[in-house]
């Protein structure tokens, strides 16, 4: 049955999280500023109802937040990294406590299924746990000097303020991917959440505030500034913010990257994907179908890792096509908080328009619709944001196929002959985020992962394109932006590297044997 069914339930969740959003717009970790910027109404795509109203921050509010963050950094960076890690450990425990209400709020405000909402909160917990261990492993290297009586090593220092611009589709996890690492590295953070999901951002700040206040963390280590593109522009152009981490569309990323690059700052860009699964002759259909279907329709196709294209060997094409159509017939579309449903709504009516336009463009280019799309109406679909997942036979070179549409549209196409033909098709798009191959042939799997294989930042064998564990670095190449978040050594972008040489001898030899006598 549906978990959240009326406004009263949401009010109770907001109260449990300590939220009275009408006064909110910016926060440095203490009380929220009463801002006088543009009104932002957060409507749920689940039922079209108003969740709450907030007001965007003004430029003056933004300047106040940056000033407070600068002050906090001077104190926070001097706290030993393991001590900072202990604070993050406690944050993970607090998020565990709030997992259910926060997961429900994510689902209700964004529209993803309850299981995915809870899973996103679990990602927050996981990255905090990862960061706690990392706080004792911010390693540098030692090197042998060519000069006698000298020692060389390198170390990492915190950067300062990290600006975070996040997207609506993962309204809490991506923020925490950045903050958990940045905080243990000694940085402070300023977050501009998507104006489409401000209430979940307020919830995260409230939870963080509880933990930070209990540990005496300086005000200004965790900051939130609610607003639209104007706030993002201020962050991108601000020389006081050495790193801007931006998640969203390629168009947005190009704008942010250009502004940050113009001042020689750093940007961490995690942008669009146009992800494909290659299905070879030896693929196990019992794995292909669920992997492809979840990748294509999970989060209503609104993941950057969503499966957009299936590239299927012609010898099994008909069999795979038939299995997919049959699976789509079984999909249930409706309230994402009802766990019997597979597909929830798109984020808003602009997304619905983009979805409809993409289908029409695919048809105009010669695409053949196998599973009809369309907008659902009537009882349970009052928000106007529910659409049918569609399957379209297409060619890889179609202009619409070359672009990412944030909606449940799956393009399927054939390849013939050798695997390299499929790899060429997969790589033949501007984006390079996630990729996968379904095969039981070891040679094909290794070829896909080789230098001549997938050009994406993520390449999987016998799993889909969607979903990633926090232990690995997350991000992609080409128009995906080249950034890496989350696990592995992604922490290094949040720090500045310093090489140190110590002379403990009684002479001053120069490198490369240079003589400078006088």
Which alpha helices (H) appear in 77-226, and where do they start and end?
A: 81-97, 99-110, 114-134, 173-185, 198-214
Closest CA to 323 of 290, 298, 372: 290
Instruction: State the Cα–Cα distance between residues 500 and 517, nearest whole angstrom.
Output: 25
Per-residue DSSP letters for 377-441? -STT-TTS--B--EEEE--TT-TTTTS--SSSEEEEEEE-SSHHHHHHHHH-SSEESEEEEE-S-
Best CA proximity match to 296, nearest among 310, 283, 284: 310
Q: What amino acid positions are annotated as catalytic residues?
A: 270, 304
**Rounded CA separation 26/342 (Å):** 36
Task: Answer whether 291's CB lies under 8 Å from 436's CB.
Answer: yes
> d(Cα 142, Cα 151) in Å, to the nearest integer?
8
* DSSP symbol at 489: T
- What is the distance between the alpha carbons of residues 184 and 192, in angstroms, rounded to a whole number? 20
Q: From the CB of residue 34, how many other CB atoms can be counted at a distance below 10 Å?
A: 12
Residues 6+ apart with CB under 8 A from 26: 32, 33, 35, 57, 61, 62, 64, 65, 223, 224, 225, 226
401 vs 409: CA distance, rounded Å: 10
**Separation of alpha carbons 229 and 240, rounded Å:** 19
- DSSP annotation of 265: -
8 Å CB contact between 121 and 103: yes
């Amino acid at each position: 049955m549906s978990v959240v069914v009326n406004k009263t339930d949401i009010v109770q969740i907001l109260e449990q999280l300590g939220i009275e959003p009408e006064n909110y717009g910016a926060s440095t970790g203490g009380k929220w500023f009463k801002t006088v910027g543009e009104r932002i109404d957060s409507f749920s795509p689940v039922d079209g109802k108003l969740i709450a109203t907030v007001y965007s921050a003004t430029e003056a509010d933004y300047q106040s937040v940056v000033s407070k963050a600068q002050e906090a950094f001077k104190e926070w960076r001097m706290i030993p990294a393991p001590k900072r890690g202990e604070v993050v450990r406690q944050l993970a425990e607090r998020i565990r406590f709030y997992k259910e209400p926060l997961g429900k709020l994510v689902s209700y405000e964004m529209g993803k299924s309850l299981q995915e909402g809870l899973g996103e909160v679990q990602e927050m917990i996981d990255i905090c746990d990862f960061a706690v261990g990392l706080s004792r492993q911010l390693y540098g290297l030692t090197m042998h000097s060519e000069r006698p009586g000298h020692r060389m090593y390198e170390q990492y220092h915190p950067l300062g303020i990290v600006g975070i611009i996040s997207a609506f589709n993962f309204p809490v996890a991506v923020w925490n991917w950045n903050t958990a690492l940045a905080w243990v590295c000694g940085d402070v953070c300023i977050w501009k959440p998507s104006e489409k999901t401000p209430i979940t951002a307020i919830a995260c700040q409230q939870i963080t505030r509880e933990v930070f206040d209990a540990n005496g963390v300086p005000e200004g280590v965790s900051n939130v500034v609610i607003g639209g593109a104007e706030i993002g522009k201020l962050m991108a152009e601000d020389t006081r913010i050495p790193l801007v981490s931006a998640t969203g569309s390629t168009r947005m990323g190009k704008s942010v990257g250009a502004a940050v690059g113009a001042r020689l700052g750093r940007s961490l860009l995690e942008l669009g994907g146009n992800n494909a699964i290659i299905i070879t002759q030896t693929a196990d259909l019992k794995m292909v179908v669920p992997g492809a279907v979840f990748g294509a329709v999970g989060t209503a196709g609104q993941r950057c890792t969503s499966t957009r294209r299936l590239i299927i060997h012609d010898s099994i094409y008909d069999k795979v096509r038939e299995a997919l159509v049959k699976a789509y017939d079984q999909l249930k579309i409706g309230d994402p908080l009802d766990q019997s449903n597979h597909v929830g709504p798109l984020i808003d009516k602009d997304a619905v328009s983009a979805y409809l336009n993409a289908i029409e463009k695919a048809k105009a280019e010669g695409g053949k619709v196998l599973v009809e799309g369309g907008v659902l109406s009537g009882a349970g679909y009052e928000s106007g944001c529910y659409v049918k997942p569609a399957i379209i036979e297409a060619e890889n070179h179609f202009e619409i196929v070359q672009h990412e549409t944030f909606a449940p549209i799956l393009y399927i196409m054939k390849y013939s002959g050798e695997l390299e033909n499929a790899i060429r098709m997969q790589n033949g798009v501007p984006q390079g985020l996630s990729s996968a191959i379904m095969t039981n042939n070891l040679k094909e799997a290794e070829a896909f992962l080789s230098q001549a294989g997938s050009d994406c930042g993520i390449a999987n064998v016998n799993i889909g394109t969607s979903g990633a564990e926090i232990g690995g670095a997350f991000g992609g190449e080409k128009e995906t932006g080249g950034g890496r978040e989350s696990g592995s050594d992604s922490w290094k972008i949040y720090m500045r590297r310093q090489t140190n040489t110590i002379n403990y001898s009684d002479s001053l030899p120069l490198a490369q044997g240079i003589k400078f006598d006088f």
